Amino acid sequence: MIYDKIDILGDKRYMMETYLVIYGAVDLFCILCSLIILSKFTTNVGSDLEIRYFRKMIFSYIGFVVTEFIWVLGKSGALPPSNTTYDLIKILGTICIPITVFFWFCFAEIKFKSKFITKPIHLILAFLPVALLAIVYLTSFKTGIIYKYLGDAVIRGPGFNLSGLVNNIYGITIIIHAIILYIKTDNKALKETYIIQIIFIIVCTLGGVVDGIFIETPVMPLVMCLAFIYLFINLQEPQIFSDALTGLNNRRSADAYMSKSLEMANEDNPLYLFMLDINGFKSINDTYGHLEGDNALCLVADTIQDISDKYRGFCARWGGDEFVIIASNKEDDFPSTLSNELNNTLKERAKENNLAYDLSLAIGHSKAINKEDKLLDIINKADIALYENK
């Protein structure tokens, strides 16, 4: 019987050691994946503000996983024994979860081209729930709401699951916003952006539910890591044919579309290439900063997209503050009609957005009526006409 008891104790110790090794390995995997994502998340993926909040989101997530890893090392005996200390470290790490969710909320709102986060007062109001939750967490050893301290053990309090409501507030807000925007737009690329953010929320929420059921498991770090990988891949993939900042097609996509469209060009179905350039864009950047410059680019891009869609055209960001529209039209006055509508609409939207500067476009165009016309010649003609207009 004595030997049986020894074997049982040995088996339990072995199982605990195995469990802690697996837990630590999962944490290390998540940390390494996060560092790889950070190293690959460059300026070609989005605007400066998007990149800034994405990085903050990953860093706060790493803070959460690192505290989990320290907890594992402490429990396994790899660090000096002190159960209370490591439990406290893990609790501090859990505060990083709502902070991570908050930064993701900001990232998603910017990705949706919302101006909510760009206003300091709105940013403070948005962060307020996280700040209040952090206070509740840190004072819970006295109140016992989130965690209870019982001698050498720390257990979850009655309000632990309710604390997840803060994360749900941000998630529900983004889901509602994404659904509204999805319904309003016909742009396929934008629809995909909204779907990606909704799926990201669902995956993280399911991870939180499972983590609540299976206590003291690495479910939450792993699920969040997989959600970040999913988000990162879906942000990177469209960059092959679309522009990260404006959501329009990019130059590669425009070249491919123009080459294909030239095959169908004829006198009865002429093909127009419009080259567009923002007047005084350098002055906007120098005077108001690059963030406002990005805002101007997005406003122009949205206007170009809307007018292009109206005439069943194709539009793309050519590079910098240059854009193109490719469209077929039989009307002789089509170039002047399109140009006037673009600038008139842009002027109205600049006024609606209370911009401190004027926005207008210099526009040049060329016309193809034969499939034998060379793409490079058509581009050069439109480019020359653009600079003559400027």
Q: What was the pLDDT predicted at 105?
A: 92
The answer to which of 163-172, 224-233, 287-296 has the lowest mean pLDDT is 163-172
Is residue 251's pLDDT more than 80? yes
pLDDT in tens, 87-132: 677 778 888 888 999 999 999 988 887 877 777 888 888 888 888 8
Look at residues 170, 98, 101, 100 and name the one whose alpha carbon lies nearest to residue 134: 98
Mean pLDDT confidence for 6-28 = 66
Q: Which domains does the chain have, with CATH numbers?
A: 2-240 (1.20.1070.10), 251-389 (3.30.70.270)
* pLDDT band with cut points at 50, 70 and 90 for residue 83: low
pLDDT band (50, 70, 90) for residue 363: very high
Out of 193-202, 341-350, 372-381, the most confident range is 341-350
Summarised one tens digit per residue, pLDDT across range 24-51 is 888 899 999 999 988 877 655 566 778 8
Residue with more model confidence, 329 or 15: 329
Q: What is the pLDDT of residue 50?
A: 81
Give the separation between CA 55 and CA 232, rounded to whole angstroms. 12
Q: For residue 303, what pLDDT band results from cuts at 50, 70 and 90? A: very high
pLDDT score at 7 = 46
Give the residue with greater pLDDT, 262 vs 297. Answer: 297
How far is Cα 220 from Cα 239, in angstroms, rounded to an integer? 29
Weakest-pLDDT range from 55-59, 67-71, 111-115, 360-364 = 111-115
pLDDT value of residue 10: 46
pLDDT above 50 (res 4): no
- Average pLDDT in the 219-241 region? 81
Residue 79 has pLDDT above 80, yes or no: no
Q: What is the structure's pLDDT at 6?
A: 42
Residue 5 pLDDT level (bands cut at 50, 70, 90): very low
Q: Which pLDDT score is estimated for 9?
A: 41
Rama region for 119: left / alpha / beta (φ>0; ψ in -120 to 50; rest) = beta
Measured CA to CA, the distance from residue 134 to residue 153 in angstroms comes to 21
Residue 183 CA: distances (Å) to CA of 49, 179, 180, 192: 26, 6, 5, 12
pLDDT of 88 reads 75
What pLDDT score does 60 carry? 94
Residue 341 pLDDT: 94
For residue 175, name the pLDDT band (cuts at 50, 70, 90): very high
215 burial level (CB within 10 Å; 0-12, 13-18, 19+): exposed
> Taking residues 207-215, what's their average pLDDT?
77
The pLDDT score that the predictor gives to residue 150 is: 66
pLDDT band at 368 (very low <50, low <70, confident <90, very high): confident
pLDDT reading at 85 higher than 80: no
What pLDDT, on a 0 to 100 scale, did the predictor assign at position 44? 56
Mean pLDDT for the chain overall = 82
**Stretch 348-361: mean pLDDT, rounded?**
90
Top-confidence residue, 83 or 178: 178
pLDDT at 153 (0 to 100): 60
Predicted local confidence at residue 319, as pLDDT: 87
Instruction: Report the predicted TM-score, pTM, of the whole model to 2 decimal places.
Output: 0.64
